[in-house]
Amino acid sequence: MTGWLTAVWDRLKLPWSVSSREYSCSYENVLGTSLELRIVSSSPSVAERAERTALSEIDRLEQIFSRYRPGSEFAQWQKNRGVDTPVSDELWDVLSACETWREHSRGAFHPATESLLQLWQDCAAENRLPTAGAIGRQRDQLGGNPWHLNASRRSASCARYPLSLHGIAKGYIVDRVCDAVLRSHAGVESVLLNVGGDLCVRGNTTRFVGIADPRRDAENAPFVATLCVTNGAMATSGDWRRGFWIGDTLYSHIIDGRTGFPASQFHSVSVLAPTAMEADVLSTIFTILSPPECAAMAESLPEVGYLLLARDGMAYQNLLWTQREVNE
């Protein structure tokens, strides 16, 4: 890891703002991706302490949610399949949120699509499509609840198939880190944290966030849109620089829990929401849903905006997105 460096962005790009009290740092291989932290504070020493708080909180939460650390709470919990096990407040929060969004999306978002994704990736390695029977067998497992929560004991038991918190846990971590920085350091006026395209802005500041065009690979390509963000969050999902090829077709890494097939409509979906967790999960859900379904869900939620860039070249956005967009 390096210290305070210039910004390097992937899907979400932030134009530099000039401030003598703004400090920034960037890191690679944090939660498996890149991290950019910007802090407006009373002094460099306050900013450095805030940076240490952010990194410490990320490490703590990764030890809870990581699928790749064998000793993480989530990994250990999955080993006790079928056993009602007390869980931390953080894991309880995310498991509860997963249930809410699985129900709200009518199964489009599902933490058990990991087995379906693995099936598609294994077949892609052999350059062939999965059979309908194989997809059906994996999809049939998703009919029941992926876990059971016991509110009185704050405990949970998981089902006997692979689970993933991809599409929700990273956003939750970004929210918690921003809260920890602002809560722990009186000299911090505002914080912006971007972890691999999950971005949160908190405090006394307004930021202009540019969305990279998925149809243009050049780093200096014009943004497809620029949004004004104040005490809010954004996330972008899609097959841009992700996914896998079978024959001449690029398939998304996001699987529709209702059908067992990869999402196929959009190159890129960007969502503006009050929290990073909401933006994270909604960018996944909207990648799966049709434009009318996205519009209906966004209408039912407070302060949610979206930009959908379809593979056929069409673009869809709602009124809130239009209101927050900056016209150059």
| pLDDT tens track for 22-51 | 999 999 989 989 999 999 999 999 999 999
Q: Do 23 and 123 fall into the same domain?
A: no
At a CB cut-off of 8 Å and minimum separation 6, what does 218 contact? none
- Residue pair 283/271 in contact (Cβ under 8 Å)? The answer is yes
Q: Do 197 and 277 fall into the same domain?
A: yes
Evaluate whether residue 164 is within a structural domain: no
Q: Do 198 and 315 fall into the same domain?
A: yes
- Residue pair 190/165 in contact (Cβ under 8 Å)? The answer is no
pLDDT at 160: 79
Domain finish residue from 140, 158, 176? 158
C-alpha distances in Å from residue 17, one per residue of 191, 228, 230, 314:
13, 13, 15, 32
| pLDDT tens track for 168-189 | 999 999 999 999 999 999 999 9
**Domain span at residue 23?**
12-40+192-324
Which tokens in the block code for residue 192?
Answer: 């912006």
Evaluate whether residue 58 is within a structural domain: no
The per-residue b/e assignment along 134-147, b for 16 or more CB within 10 angstroms, e otherwise, is: bbeebbeebeeebb
Q: Taking the CB of residue 29, how many other CB atoms lie within 10 A of it?
A: 9
All residue ranges of the chain with pLDDT < 70 are: 1-20, 217-220, 240-241, 328
Give the residues across from 226 on adjacent strands: 210
Q: Do 199 and 318 fall into the same domain?
A: yes
pLDDT at 41: 93
Q: Do 198 and 276 fall into the same domain?
A: yes
pTM of the model: 0.90
Domain finish residue from 111, 135, 158? 158
CATH code of the domain in which 113 resides: 1.10.3980.10
- Residue pair 188/203 in contact (Cβ under 8 Å)? The answer is yes
Evaluate whether residue 52 is within a structural domain: no
Q: Do 27 and 86 fall into the same domain?
A: no
Q: Do 202 and 308 fall into the same domain?
A: yes
Q: Do 102 and 220 fall into the same domain?
A: no
What are the DSSP calls for 257-300, one per residue? TTTSSB--SEEEEEEEESSHHHHHHHHHHHHHS-HHHHHHHHHT
pLDDT at 242: 73
CATH code of the domain in which 274 resides: 3.10.520.10
What's the alpha-carbon Rg for the chain, to the nearest Å? Answer: 20
Distance (Å, rounded) from C-alpha 246 to C-alpha 201? 38
Number of structural domains found in the chain? 2
The residue among 55, 114, 62, 54 whose CA lies nearest residue 88 is 62
C-alpha distances in Å from residue 142, one per residue of 60, 84, 246:
30, 20, 25
Evaluate whether residue 1 is within a structural domain: no
pLDDT at 162: 85
Distance (Å, rounded) from C-alpha 214 to C-alpha 238? 9
Q: Do 138 and 22 fall into the same domain?
A: no
Evaluate whether residue 320 is within a structural domain: yes
pLDDT at 243: 84
Query: To the nearest 10°, the Cα dihedral for 177, 180, 185, 186?
Result: 120
Evaluate whether residue 51 is within a structural domain: no
